Amino acid sequence: MSNTSNKYAFGMIGLGTMGRSLLLNMADHGYAVAGHDKDAAKVASLNEEGKDKDVKGFGDAKEFVQSLTTPRAIMMLVPAGKIVDSVIAELTPLLDKGDILIDGGNSHFTDTNRRVDELEAIGLHFFGMGVSGGEEGARRGPSMMPGGDKDAYNVMKPIFEAIAAKVDGAPCVTYIGPGASGHFVKMVHNGIEYGLMQLIAESYEIMKTGLKMDNDAIGAVFTKWNDGRLKSFLIDITKDIFAFKAPGTDHLLLDDIKDEAKAKGTGKWTSQVAMDLQAPIPTIDSAVSMRDLSKYKALRVQASDLYSKDAPVLKVDTDAFLTALEQAFYFTMIISYAQGMHMLERASEEFKYDLKLGEIAKIWRGGCIIRSAFLNDIFNAYEKNSKLEHLLLDEHVHDLVSETVQGARTVLSATIAAGIAAPAFTASLSYFDNFRTKRMPSNLTQAQRDYFGAHTYELIGKEGVFHTQWVEKI
């Protein structure tokens, strides 16, 4: 096939919101791009939105592939799982050795490992790339986490750096590492996101249920927070949600939304893999659990009738308590990020990813869902010490934690006494208090394990493994 007959430098399979927005972003930066989707409406949508750009949508896969310059570069943005495998199976007979295939969806990293091996065996370059930022990020500048075939990434690097979000002039994309590291880092990013969203939800609950604040007052608090050190994408959109009324109504749309949270699985995967790595992330775990608990609405209604006779109320000075709540949020936000970064450190060692945690923090500062002012502090911590084993061991982070931890204690003392649930706040503080403990009570756990299962134990200051007959056999 002659190169001269081909027109488009990049192809996208999956023209949903994200795929279409990324293509239009590329076209804005001077790249000729093509898209393919089996849904004719999505193809038409791309052609309409891109009518003044060098963009073309195709309904036919073969025609789409033939429209691309060689070696071809094609990205898939389709739902994770079997759909990715079916797209690959349909596509590979149409490709030539040396072509590049990119999975930009939220695939489980073990699936990416398998696909890397399978496609490498038939001469195709493949890498997985996490993409964060939602529709707006994809259109105006996302954060991207590519990992795998480094040569293939280097071919794509100019395009990705052009379309990425920029912070201080630096693009929010970098080569993450080998294998499935790109998808792994995106998974942990999403886990941190779960934790932060749960902390925001709990802050809302504390203000609404405990302090009896109305929506305008709660919205004003989130607006104030976003103007200070808590400035972040998630707080920013939260203040907007507290200002949005559905057309034709006189109340917030928020009040009409069911309290049943859904999920696509990345938070659950983060918790599962963290347990495999023995990397404790209880803030994230509690966020996953609370989304699950929210689905049991009928049970919660029954339990409410049975147990909740008195409405909880916080008997506190509201202004002083809101100051403590801001401190508590800042403290628990740090803990959520710290747990995620520690999980990445453990994964880097376990899977030989050689992750540059400073670079990861750097590309999360713009474009992505968990971007926040605090990510500059994380970036600086790992820039100062690339071997930092845990974010909480950084001197500056130590100072920030020390300044705010009392706020968490104040808030939780009051909410627990009043019967207001704050599981992610609680998990964060308990994690911190155990993390800073020189001697945990785990020696008792080991003694119990040896008692009932002869699992043995180790002794302080003495080499070897020991077992005791704890009671005399009759």
**Residues assigned a catalytic role:** 186, 193
The reply, when asked if residue 386 is annotated as ligand binding, is: no
Contact status, residue 267 vs residue 284, Cβ threshold 8 Å: yes
- For residue 69, give both structure tokens: 């310059």
Cα(222)–Cα(231) distance, integer angstroms: 9
Q: Which residues lie across from 94 on neighbouring strands?
A: none
Is 342 assigned to a binding site?
no
- Using CA atoms, how far residue 344 sits from 174, 181, 184, 282, 361, in Å, is 16, 10, 8, 15, 11
Task: Give the integer Cα–Cα distance in Å for 14 and 17.
Answer: 9
Q: Is 108 annotated as a binding residue?
A: no
35 is in an annotated binding site: no
Structural contact between residues 53 and 31, judged by C-beta atoms closer than 8 angstroms: no
Q: Is 183 annotated as a binding residue?
A: no
CA dihedral (190, 196, 198, 202) in degrees, to 10, reads 180
| Residue 194 annotated as lining a ligand binding site | yes
Contact 450, 467 (CB under 8 A): yes
Residue 315 phi, psi dihedral angles, 5° rounding? -90, 80
To the question of whether residue 25 is assigned a binding role by annotation, the answer is no
455 is in an annotated binding site: yes
Distance CA 432, CA 426 (A): 10
Edge-to-edge order in the sheet of strand 10-13? 55-58, 33-36, 10-13, 73-76, 100-103, 125-132, 143-148
253: left (phi over 0), alpha (psi -120 to 50) or beta: alpha
Whether residue 6 is annotated as binding a ligand: the answer is: no
Which DSSP symbol is given to 51? T
Which residues participate in the annotated binding site? 106, 132-134, 189-190, 194, 264, 291, 449, 455
Which residues participate in the annotated binding site for substrate? 106, 132-134, 189-190, 194, 264, 291, 449, 455
